[in-house]
Structure 1
Amino acid sequence: MRVVSLVPSLTEAVAVCAPELLVGATDWCSHPAGLEVPRIGGTKNPGTGKIAALAPDLVIANEEENRPQDLAALRAAGLDVMVTEVRTLDQAVSELARVLVRGCGLARPDWLDAAETAWRELPVPAAERAAVVPIWRRPWMVLGRDTFAGDLLARLGVRNVYAGHADRYPRIPLDELRACPADLVVLPDEPYRFGADDGPEAFPSLPAALVSGRYLTWYGPSLVRAPGVLSQALAGAG
């Protein structure tokens, strides 16, 4: 098999299981560390000609991270493109199994079973907390309905206050974000790199949980450690 991955999470999943299969990945595919494969551009602007020249048996993509026109161009070039949809943890597990087993011809990895166990054995949260979850500023954007990150947070006892919004990633003015009934603000370090000096100051009345975007938004081997890493970060917000 020759596989090109257009999604950092899927790149890591394949590379951990069978690195020899990967013949191309995006510029944003940063895990595992030291991954040495040809780079084919970004997730939103992949070089379709470069990908075709690599002659992959399979291109793996995601309906949210990759543009339909790019995937259509790859199919028009005669390539087999497998597109994942991940809106919940359960979907992530089933889609990872589909890509690795059916798409790449691999055995179901032990780490996928370990991830399921880690999330299934989470203790029941003592109390639910409501949170605003920004993912961008200038303009401010937050998690809305039907998101993988929102599902993970809900399993950890954090209710996204915009989970009922009509948009999945709505733009909300800062004054409205500050006025909404929330117990904390959750600030991931991707896609926008929120940090101690960039984000919490915008919400002076709320405790801030600075969380790893990799553990909040990536689906792959990181899911094994995600419950513990995220729980610790959320607990630190009081």
Structure 2
Amino acid sequence: MRVVSLVPSLTEAVAVTAPGLLVGATDWCSHPAGLDVVRIGGTKNPDTARIIALAPDLVIANEEENRAPDLAALRAAGVEVLVTEVRALDGAFRELERVLVRGCGLVRPKWLDEAEAAWSRVSADSPRRRAAVPIWRRPWMVLGRDTFAGDLLARLGVDNAYVSHEERYPRVPLDELNAAGLDLVVLPDEPYRFAASDGPEAFPELPAALVSGRHLTWYGPSLAEAAGVLGAALRVARRQT
């Protein structure tokens, strides 16, 4: 079987489970390291002609990361496209099984069982903290409603202050963020690469948790260790209070 992935998370999931299946991936597909496949452009601007020339049996995509016109062009050329939708952890587990087992015909991988087991051990009794989760600055943008990353943080005791916002990634001025009655600010290192200095500079009165963007936003093998990695970063921020 020949698979092209348009989603970094799914690229890692397929490559770790059955590396011989992948023949193409985006320029942003950075895991696993040393992945040797044809690069087909970005998630938002893939080279559909190059993908078609690879003669894939399946292209795997995501409704948020990839554009509908690109997927329609692939389907028009006779390419089978499997589109995932991930808004929460349970959905990620379902979609990963759909991609790997039903889409690619693989045996359910051990890492997926390990990931589900790891998250099942997360205590629902964690102390709650109200936080904002910026994903960009200039302009400032934060996690809003209905996001995978927001669901992970909620399971770890972090309540997103903008979870009820009508937008999924609203723009919120910095002065409004600082006046929102937060206990914490969570700063991932992707898509914007927040650094340790960003917390004190932008949020001088708040503890800041600098977290791995891959563990916060990717749904794949990283989920097996994400609860531990994110939990450790949040505990460090708790000690700042």
Per the normalisation by structure 1, the TM-score is: 0.98
After superposition, residues 76-225 of structure 1 pair within 5 angstroms as: 76-225=76-225
Deviation at 1:76, TM superposition (A): 1.2
Contact 2:187–2:209 (Cα < 8 Å) also in 1: yes
CA distance in 1, matches of 2:212, 2:125: 20
The answer as to whether partners of 2:144 and 2:170 remain within 8 angstroms in 1 is yes
Gaps of 5+ in 1: none
CA distance in 2, matches of 1:199, 1:61: 34
* CA distance in structure 2 between the aligned counterparts of 1:66 and 1:130, rounded to whole angstroms: 31
| Matching residue's letter, 2:31 | H
Match of 1:21 in 2: 21
> How far apart are 1:198 and its partner, in Å?
3.2
Report the counterpart of residue 40 of structure 1 in structure 2.
40
Q: What letter is aligned with 2:213?
A: G
Aligned: 1:230 with 2:226: no
Verify the 8 A CA contact 2:3 2:59 in the aligned structure 1.
Answer: yes
User: By how many angstroms is 1:225 displaced?
Assistant: 0.2
Task: After superposition, give the CA deviation of every residue in 1:23-68 in whole Å (9 maximum; x if it has no partner).
Answer: 0000000000111101000001000000000000000000010011
Tell me the SS of whatever aligns to 1:93: helix
- 1:199 Cα deviation from its structure 2 partner: 4.4
Inter-partner Cα distance in structure 2 for 1:204 and 1:7: 36
Corresponding residue SS for 1:192: coil
Pairs aligned (count):
238
Counterparts of 2:198 and 2:161, CA distance in 1: 22
8 Å contact from structure 1 (residues 125, 156) kept in 2: no
Return closer, same or farther for 1:83/1:211 CA change in 2, 3 Å cut-off: same
1:120 maps to amino acid: S
Structure 2 CA distance for aligned equivalents of residues 147 and 195 of structure 1? 23
Q: Structure 2: which 5+ residue stretches go unaligned?
A: none
SS of the equivalent of 1:226 reads helix
Distance 1:200 1:54, change over 3 A: farther
Task: State the alpha-carbon separation in 1 of the partners of residues 185 and 198 from structure 2.
Answer: 13
| Cα distance in structure 2, aligned partners of 1:125 and 1:35 | 40
Give the drift of 1:132. Answer: 0.6
Change in CA separation of 1:207 and 1:199 when aligned onto 2, cut-off 3 Å: closer
Q: Which residue of 2 aligns with 1:55?
A: 55
After TM superposition, where is structure 1 displaced by more than 6 Å over at least 4 residues in a row? Answer: none
Residue 127 (structure 1) shift: 1.3
**Match of 1:221, SS?**
coil
% same residue: 76
Alpha-carbon distance, 1:130 to partner? 0.5
Distance apart, 1:78 and its partner CA: 1.1
Aligned counterparts of 1:143 and 1:173: Cα–Cα separation in 2: 13
User: Structure 2: how far apart are the matches of 1:200 and 1:154?
Assistant: 24
Name the SS of the counterpart of 1:224 in structure 2.
helix
